[in-house]
Amino acid sequence: MDPAAPDSGRQTVEISVIGAICAAAIAGQLSNAQFAPFISEIASDLGRTTPVIGQAATVYLIAAAVAGLVVGPLADRYGHRRALVVGLSLSALSAIGGGLAPSFAVLLITRLVGGLGLAATLGVVFAMVSSRYRGPIRLRALSIVSGALSLTMVAGVPALTGMSTWIAWRGAWIVVGLLAVGAIGGLLAFSPPDPPAEGDRITPGEILRSYLPLLHSRPMLALFGASVSRGVLFTSALTYLGAYFVDELGLSVQEFGLVAAGGGAAFALGSFVAGQLGRVDMRPLFALSTTLAGVWFACAYGFGFAPLATAGLIALAYFFVGVSVVTMLDLLATTTPGGQATTLVINESIFSVGAALGAATGGLLIGLGGYGALALGLPVAALTASLLIWRPGLAAPALAGSDRA
């Protein structure tokens, strides 16, 4: 529970504030999602293979994981809005610089910068929500922001792939950077300013000590372990999805944009459903939704169905991803003994570690055994995440201090 948050019975979700937060989340997620739809085009443009280009995602995610170690405590001390403005600025620089990159080496550098921006974006967004609301209102607000992220797939990715017909992937990336600049303006105009920072300048020792309550909490360690496995699952499934539809199923980049839109709509529906379940135990819901997401992704990659049937399987997977994301966020917010930004940003970093492993492992599996080998690995990651949360000795105390009741 966040003692600073007002009583949930008197809370409402303010449209202007949550709208600005949603815009920031969408811009940050679009900076993350801009890579996968164009991976084949980027490989052709820069003269590299698809698995090699895929490692730019690995660099991006490793940078996010490392930067997240310091971003969370800094955001809790100096303000969530300040941290988010910095994160979006780095994301804008990365997207515009990547669109102008003349070589793979330069692309890697811009993705590294983008990873630093990612560390100060999505986790901080959810920390802003978790610090402002609590109880069922917090869950509802988290589901609104999570659902809003689906706009990157419903509208953002199709728009980018559509405009790439005229301005190529480079122009589409520059547009992403400009949208991040616009989100900064929205935050400054509509979100409440941060309170003045208390105390002296934060020291490295204080940053390290802020993690001690998390490291001493068995439920939190279980949640963080599940985040690693989720990162492996979701990123290995999603990084190569565009290449699978284009290279194996014969769709154009623009047609894949429609597949992504359908997945985004399903993700939004899953997020909405999860947001209505304020008094349900989130642990079994997380385990079930994560396992089913892994199963449907595996079926999509493993059975070689026609494009329309495969797109349907992807939509099913995305629905359960939406449920999984909201339930994990709620478990983190209600279980943590530490600061919200420290917890949620380090969780994003831990997720990024798993995501980096997923991007690398996915490329390795495809190189060794094609997409069928990738399909075999996805349920393993899903079951690992589910069992970590479900295991009674680690996860049962998670609701003891919950503010959801």
Q: Give CA angle at 168 (244, 146), nearest 5°.
A: 60
Kindly tell me the sign of the dihedral angle through the C-alpha atoms of 356, 358, 362, 368.
positive
Map residue 103 onto helix, strand or coil: coil
Given this model, what pLDDT does residue 310 score? 92
Given this model, what pLDDT does residue 391 score? 61
**Residues with pLDDT less than 70, the chain:** 1-13, 197-200, 278-279, 391-405
The answer as to CATH 1.20.1250.20 being correct for domain 14-192+205-397 is yes
The amino acid at 347: N
Determine the Cα–Cα distance for residues 107 and 111; give it in Å rounded to an integer.
6
Q: Give CA angle at 61 (108, 258), nearest 5°.
A: 90
Determine the Cα–Cα distance for residues 131 and 141; give it in Å rounded to an integer.
11
Other CB atoms within a 10 A radius of the CB of residue 230 amount to 30
At 191, list the tokens: 């979100």
Determine the Cα–Cα distance for residues 244 and 88; give it in Å rounded to an integer.
30
Q: Which helix (H) or strand (E) holds 339?
A: none
In 304-397, where does DSSP find H-type helix?
307-335, 340-390, 392-395
The whole-model pTM stands at 0.74
Residues near 194 by beta carbon (within 8 Å), at least 6 away in sequence: 78, 79, 80, 81, 82
Determine the Cα–Cα distance for residues 201 and 141; give it in Å rounded to an integer.
32
The amino acid at 110: T
Determine the Cα–Cα distance for residues 103 and 318; give it in Å rounded to an integer.
33
Rg (CA), the chain: 20
Residues near 79 by beta carbon (within 8 Å), at least 6 away in sequence: 193, 194, 195, 197
At 196, list the tokens: 């003045």
